[in-house]
Structure 1
Amino acid sequence: MVHIQDHSTAASVIHHWGYADRVVPCTNDAGSCEYLDAVYWMHDTSMLYTFIMWAVIGGILLLFITLRTLRPSPRHIARFSADEKDQAREPGSAYSRAWAGLQSTFRKCLLPESFVGLFGHVTRLQLLVLSILLAYLLIFTLVGIVYKTWITPVKKTNLFNTRTGLGGFSDRIGALAYALTPLTVALSTRESILTLVTGIPYQSLNFLHRWAGRIIFIQSFLHTLGWTLIEGKFYQPQPKVYREFIAQKYMVWGCVAMMLITFIYTFSLSRVIRLTGHEFFRKTHYVIAMIYVGACWGHWQQLSCWMIASLGIWGIDRGVRFLRTLLIHVGYVNGNRDFGFHSAQSSVEYFDDPDGGVVRLEFKHNHETWQVGQHFFLCFSALTIWQSHPLTVASAPELHPALPHHTYIVRCRKGETRRLKELALGQVSEPASKGGATLSSKTTSVILCGPYGTTLLPSHPNVGHEASNIIAVAGGTGISSTLPVALVAASSPAFIGIPLDFIWVIRRHSNMDWIKSELSELQRQSRSSELNLRIHIYITQESPPEVRSSQDSASKSLEDIEISHAPSSKACFSSSLSSSNPNYNITYMDSVHPSLATIVSGFLDTRACSEYRTRVIASGPAGMGQDLRAAVASVNDGSKVWKGDRRWDVSLDWDDRMG
């Protein structure tokens, strides 16, 4: 707007926040003056809308804080506390029943997945939040625009400029893109203030981060297209006007920013990530995103506050990550005076299978313990110091003075996990044998950062936990999330009498070698008359040993094999090895997967106590998550919860960090 205003004839200048100063009185032709009035009014309105947007965001965060404050306190069961156990069986106040009933009703409606082909495996609640954001941006992008055209003469020529509300519209979407940038960065941070306020795990916010980034890309494209049309077609004479326009410093930075956001968007597409690799995506995403923020600062310094906030959020996140790592690794070792940075020394044990193999990591390291269900980011310095992987701890937390013992189960795929497999195979001790035997074991350095994530159960047996029926479901290496739950429950007197079903779906019997010692301990604990623990393992791609033996030698008939009516569409073979322990069962499926809906509903009908709410703690492939969300949503019943049957208040804690 500066080029159509004559500062030499200005009687005064009016400052407009985030924009060029306005010269008054206007000495241009009447059409240009009216256009300037409209442009500055649209800009001031745009600034107001950005502030309203952040006021709404602040209001939503305040609402989360209020709801977390007002929600009824969970009734806990502490160690040897009979009084509290009796109290947990009481129906509860009308307020707590109404609260739980509303939660159950919301889960029934908003927990399932929808439009998976377009949005991926996300819940309806996440889609609702995205829809609200899109609706807000659409409304406030179109409202407050002057939809009018002015044809104004170009001085000393017979040409005319075409001035429209497109300039105000383009500035509007550009301003909203700037204001949306700090939120997009905050949604991507690991040390998330949004997680602290809302209690929502940072990984659940990544969906909104991805779509907010796509929104910014679309806004940037429309902003660029709008001003290209204005300066390259509507203003005269051409191409003089456009050449002078594009050569300005702020426009050079604008072009750089547009190229960078296009790069970020293109290389964030799932198909492109598969071609270039996830490591390339992560490294370039971090670097290019911050250069993009700097280019936006150079493009329009009047709105640099949004870019400063974005850089500040990113810097705080990185600083806290670095501090976390130092707190874990810098200090004395084994009580001596060797002060400095010390990485953990982990054993690397490899298990072979047709799906690429699995690595088991184990080590002890002196640091503060974690809570059940939390995860660490692991960096293997022998492979690279520029990448870390989020992995859920598969071992139960240990408190001081015991050194915390870490166990991780990692599926070997591409990239870093493939190199981890190669590292494990670097010293092959014995030839590989069939059935998934251990091929090799060696030691490597590990750098930790964490812990992160929500707490599923307290790590200390004397700390009360919420009374609830628990069903732990895992698929493959998702066992890392559910195994600590079962281990803590089996070793804590606080869980005596509380129903806990431990479900593990694997492809082959040899997969049980990953957690052989822990599984043996759970099998022993399941025999206890005090614990209400049941273990059921489903093997989906093998037949029972009895069947394989009969096929090889023809010495045994199928009549000798017990048929189990497992929750699937076909009959399944139940291993006779588990017949001596009714609480431990292995079922061989006929190339199908167990019905998770049948498992969940069967647990509620036959195992769950009506005095306790029900928690489903699960991890596995994305398809398992989709089925479980649908299953959990279908069994939630707010009316039954209101009447006092609390088992129908069913929540799902889903962990998608499979090794």
Structure 2
Amino acid sequence: MDGFSQYANLSGNPLWDLSENDPRCINVSCLAYILGYLDDQDRYSNDNYPLYAYWTTYFYCATVALFAIVYVNRRLRDGGAGSRFKEQAKAYWRMWIYRRITGKLGEQMDMSLGQLTIFIIATIFILVLPFAQGYFLRAYFRFGSPPLSVRCAMLISGLLPICIALAGKVNIVSCLTGISYAKLNVWHRYIALMIYILTIIHLVPHVIAPIREGGDIEFKDLLQEGRRERSGIILEVSFTLMLATSFPYFRNRFYEAFKFLHVFFAVAFFAFLTWHVTGEYLTPDFLWASVAILIGNFIARAVYRNRTTTSFNEFVQGYPTSLEILPGKMTRIVVQCPNKLRWRPGQHCYISIPGISKLQSHPFTIVSLSTPYLSAGPNDLVILMRAYSGFTKAVADLAKTPALNITNQPPKPSMPNTPSHSYSSSFPGTPNQSYSPSFPGTPDTSLTIAPSFNLPVELTMATRAWIDGPYGDFHPALERQYHGITLVGGGSGITAGLPWLVYIASRMRTAAHGLKGLHGEKLCKTRTLHLIWSIRDLDWIRWADRELTEALRDVMIANTQPQRNADGEKGRAFKLQISLFVTKSPTKAEMKTAVIDLYLRAGVDIYNPHARVEIRTGRPNYAGLLPNMLDRKRNMILTCGPVSQKIDLANSVAQLQSMVIQDQAMEISLHSETFGW
């Protein structure tokens, strides 16, 4: 009370003795205001507010630290046998986290139960925290902002830095956890949505409190006086527009407009937020931290993007690029990159074609492998891009453009070792039609197949392109940790599996020579490699015929080496099984012809038991297929495709964890790639 005695002037201060209910008793010149303010602070002190920002920061820092520990463990893991208890515990855990909700709801959510669990925990923490202590409004609005509003403001302050950090393509969270920004982006959007919900909760008491105290006139006076209520409403409108233009419906249809509006509204948001929060508790500190993180993201991406030196001509015009038209509205893009640019299987990049637009840049999975650093061969970066609308359609139209820079590229099929024109069902008794070379068996010569390796001349369009990347998740050396690897793709989702198919097949070929790593480790533990690819039309095989034939050839050569077991896996040959499922039922002759094409171009004997190709009609039944494909040791299943495929496969893998529990396999892991950004 002594601190307010300077305002007590009984002779000169007519407001000192006003009652608390008097509308003129609004500051420390009134004794009733002072007593009421102190009593209100005793009930809930302003000193409690900063704790909410700290608790929020501790929560997400602990979450990031947990995933960082898992990431470090993955990097240090050698793929050796763990204890049976540990493997069974992981199997029970994966039985839950891999599972997905089925039906339309599951397709709309597009997340596993593990992801959903984290979302639920985070949502409960964020939305319960501001309400837990009660006392939502001050006794009078004149005593200060409503406690509920300020607690929400503190939570928003704590969430803002991590939201900004997750927005960058090169960010600290990806570095700590090994998770690509593409997967972290869903958390960026989730946190932004939580911030928006908190802003609504923050806004409501600021409307209720003045109206309760002085009616509509009181609230209108606050807006006219230029109080924080005015800046808050403007801030809320800008944030609403930013979120509205970020929803998938708008983002997927108007991607370029989305990018421009997102940046525009983000700048407006920071500007209005600075106006709104200046002088409020710790909020400016978190605001400046967010700005610092944003600047750091820009610098990190600029350094990462320009880490490879290029010639001035390539910097200005882009790298030489060829566009090839493939069936099914697919375009094959080959970019001639500098040898210093490296990428790993499973990564993606952003591509921009100046001939279409110098400002448009879109992400696509890299299909090819980077050329060894000391190799003199071309370092071609290959992308398969299916035309829908916008940029992808413009690329397809450019590939069809008749111009002087179109070049003829005659095909170069590999001649077969043992030509054959016979096929028989390798899966008799199954409901789906299935065709692959019978081994062993008597050739069926009742059906004659025309030589399909006389392919037409391919037309390729020459242009230029810029590359930004690569980006992607951290993957351990799969071929050194897993004995069985299964790649599952649906339609254009095959682009995520093709680089792994070629890479692991090439490692099998290298390991067959008996070579070991720098520290004497095995170059390739993988002995069984499977590819399951669902396509609509049979001619879609042309999307990946180069990669399929290369993998078949490498596995065939790996099994012809006399030292193929020199790495310690004695008695186990390398095996590759390619299973293609065609939903638009082709004829028997067409399926047989397509399989022969792959064998002939790869130069593989159709009776080779180690490199097999089969084509079936219908959709794959993962629950029935996978048990026969899994190795008894460690297994990895990688998938990319439509949401319905991810749901079926994830639930099947969750069910297969019982094989680990029953000691029929050591490990069955699942990794899903993002299908469409």
TM-score, structure 1 as length reference: 0.77
Is 1:391–2:364 an aligned residue pair? yes
> What corresponds to 2:254 in structure 1?
277
Amino acid in structure 2 at the alignment position of 1:634: Q
Structure 1 residue 465: Cα displacement: 2.4
Listed as ranges, the matches of 1:479-494 within 5 Å are 479-492=494-507, 493=511, 494=523
CA–CA separation in structure 2 for the residues paired with 1:392 and 1:649: 27
CA distance in 1, matches of 2:402, 2:597: 38
TM-aligned CA distance change 1:33 to 1:658, over 3 Å? closer
Correspondent of 1:33 among 34, 37, 40: 37
Deviation at 1:394, TM superposition (A): 0.6
Q: What one-letter code is carried by the residue in structure 2 that aligns with 1:449?
A: D
Kept after mapping to 1: 8 A contact 2:350/2:361: yes
**For the residues of structure 1 that align with 2:315 and 2:351, how far apart are their CA atoms?**
19
1:351 to 2:326 alignment:
yes
Which one-letter code corresponds to 2:502 in the other structure? L
Does residue 216 of the first structure (1) align with residue 195 of the second (2)? yes
Equivalences for residues 638-649 of structure 1 within 5 A: 640=661, 647-649=665-667
Which of 640, 647, 651 is equivalent to 1:626?
Answer: 647
Q: Are the structure 2 counterparts of residues 427 and 325 from structure 1 closer, same or farther at C-alpha, using a change threshold of 3 Å?
A: farther
Are the aligned partners of 1:348 and 1:443 in contact in 2 as well (CA < 8 Å)? Answer: yes
Q: How does 1:337-416 map to 2 (within 5 A)?
A: 341=316, 343-353=318-328, 357-366=329-338, 367-402=340-375, 403-416=378-391
| Pair 1:325 & 2:305 matched | yes
2:226 maps to: 248
Q: 1:502 aligns with which of 503, 523, 531?
A: 531
What displacement does 1:62 show?
3.0
1:310 paired residue among 265, 286, 290 = 290
Taking the aligned partners of 1:63 and 1:217, their CA distance within structure 2 comes to 26
- Corresponding residue for residue 574 of structure 2: 531
Contact 1:365 1:404 in 2 (8 A): yes
How far is the alpha carbon of 1:615 from its aligned partner? Answer: 0.2
CA distance in 1, matches of 2:344, 2:115: 26
- Please give the secondary structure, in 2, of the residue aligned with 1:427: coil
Letter matched to residue 346 of structure 2: G
Matches of 1:511 and 1:288, distance apart in 2 = 42
Of 488-497 and 467-476, deviating more is: 488-497
Paired residue for 1:599?
625
**Partner-residue secondary structure (3-state), 1:239:** helix
Offset, 1:346: 0.9
On the 8 A contact 1:496/1:531 being kept in 2, the answer is no
| Aligned amino acid, residue 308 of structure 1 | W
Contact 2:348 2:470 in 1 (8 A): yes
> Is residue 473 of structure 2 the alignment partner of residue 454 of structure 1?
yes
Residue 137 in structure 1 maps to residue 137 in structure 2: no
**Identity between Structure 1 and Structure 2 (%):** 19
Residue type of the partner of 2:292?
Answer: G
Structure 2 match to 1:441: 460
1:47 counterpart residue number: 50
Instruction: Provide, for residues 408-442 of structure 1, a one-character-per-residue CA deviation record: whole Å limited to 9, x for no partner.
Output: 111111111111111112227799xxxx9888421
| Partner Cα separation in structure 2 for residue 162 and residue 362 of structure 1 | 65
In 1, Cα distance between equivalents of 2:498 and 2:393: 24
1:283: how far off? 2.4
Residues 1:577 and 1:239: Cα distance change in structure 2 (over 3 Å): closer
Write the distance in 2 (CA, Å) between the matches of 1:266 and 1:224. Answer: 19
Unmatched runs of 5 consecutive residues or more in structure 1? 12-21, 77-87, 151-160, 549-560, 563-572
1-side partners of 2:34 and 2:381: how far apart? 75
Tell me by how many angstroms 1:228 deviates.
1.6
In structure 2, list runs of 5 or more residues that go unmatched. 10-25, 409-454, 512-522, 560-572, 600-605
SS of 1:28's equivalent?
helix
Q: Which residue of 2 aligns with 1:586?
A: 614
CA distance in structure 2 between the partners assigned to 1:372 and 1:576 by the alignment: 26
User: Post-superposition shift, 1:306?
Assistant: 2.0
Q: Which residue of 2 aligns with 1:126?
A: 115
CA distance in 2, matches of 1:10, 1:245: 32
1:227 Cα offset (Å): 0.8
Give yes or no for the alignment of 1:297 onto 2:318. Answer: no
Q: Quick check: 1:148–1:164 contact (8 Å CA) kept in 2?
A: no
Q: Which amino acid aligns with 1:532?
A: K
Q: Against the structure 1 CA distance between its residues 574 and 49, is the aligned structure 2 distance closer, same or farther, given a 3 Å change threshold?
A: same
Q: How big is each residue's C-alpha offset from its partner over 1:442-464, in whole Å with a ceiling of 9 and x where there is no partner?
A: 122211122211244659xxxx8
- What displacement does 1:517 show? 2.5
Deviations 1:53-87 (A, max 9, x none): 212222333333444456794336xxxxxxxxxxx
Q: Give the AA of the match of 1:282.
A: K
* Contact in 2 for aligned 1:372/1:458 (Cα 8 Å): no
Equivalent residue for 1:470? Answer: 485
Q: How far apart are the structure 2 equivalents of 1:8 and 1:418?
A: 75
- Structure 2 Cα separation of the partners of residues 421 and 603 of structure 1: 37
- C-alpha contact 1:543 1:588 (8 A) present in aligned 2: no
Q: In structure 2, what residue type is equivalent to 1:178? A: S
CA, structure 1 residues 447+218, in 2 after alignment: closer, same or farther (shift >3 Å)?
A: same
C-alpha separation in 2, matches of 1:655 and 1:148:
47
Give the distance between the partners of 1:595 and 1:261, measured in 2 at CA. 45
Give the total of aligned pairs.
Answer: 568
Q: CA RMSD in A?
A: 3.6
In structure 2, do the counterparts of structure 1 residues 476 and 67 end up closer, same or farther at CA, with 3 Å as the change threshold? closer
Distance 1:542 1:658, change over 3 A: farther
What is aligned with 1:101?
88
User: Which segment is superposed worse, 57-66 or 575-584?
Assistant: 575-584
- Which amino acid counterpart does residue 165 of structure 2 have in structure 1? A
Counterpart of 1:446, as a letter, is A
* Separation of aligned partners in 2, 1:317 and 1:241: 40
Q: 1:326 to 1:228 in 2, by over 3 A?
A: same
Contact 2:96 2:654 in 1 (8 A): yes
Q: 2 CA distance for matches of 1:523 and 1:581?
A: 10
1:620 Cα deviation after fit: 1.5
**Following TM superposition, by how much is the alpha carbon of 1:574 offset from its aligned partner in structure 2, in angstroms?**
9.0
Opposite residue 53 of structure 1, the aligned amino acid is T
What is the CA deviation profile of residues 1-42 of structure 1, one whole-angstrom value per residue up to 9, with x for unaligned ones? Answer: xxxx9998399xxxxxxxxxx99898334773256416861x
Counterpart-to-counterpart distance in 2, 1:296 and 1:219: 14
Q: Using the alignment, how far apart are the partners of 1:50 and 1:479 within structure 2? A: 44
2:57 corresponds to 1:74: no
CA contact (8 A) 2:533 2:579 kept: yes
SS at match of 2:31: coil
SS state at 2:130 partner: helix
CA contact (8 A) 1:50 1:175 kept: yes
Deviation, structure 1 residue 141 = 0.8
Question: What is the one-letter code of the residue matched to 2:504?
Answer: A
The answer to whether the 8 Å contact 1:378/1:389 transfers is yes
2-side partners of 1:27 and 1:343: how far apart? 74
Aligned with residue 259 of structure 1, among 227, 237, 258: 237
* Change beyond 3 A, Cα 1:23–1:68: farther
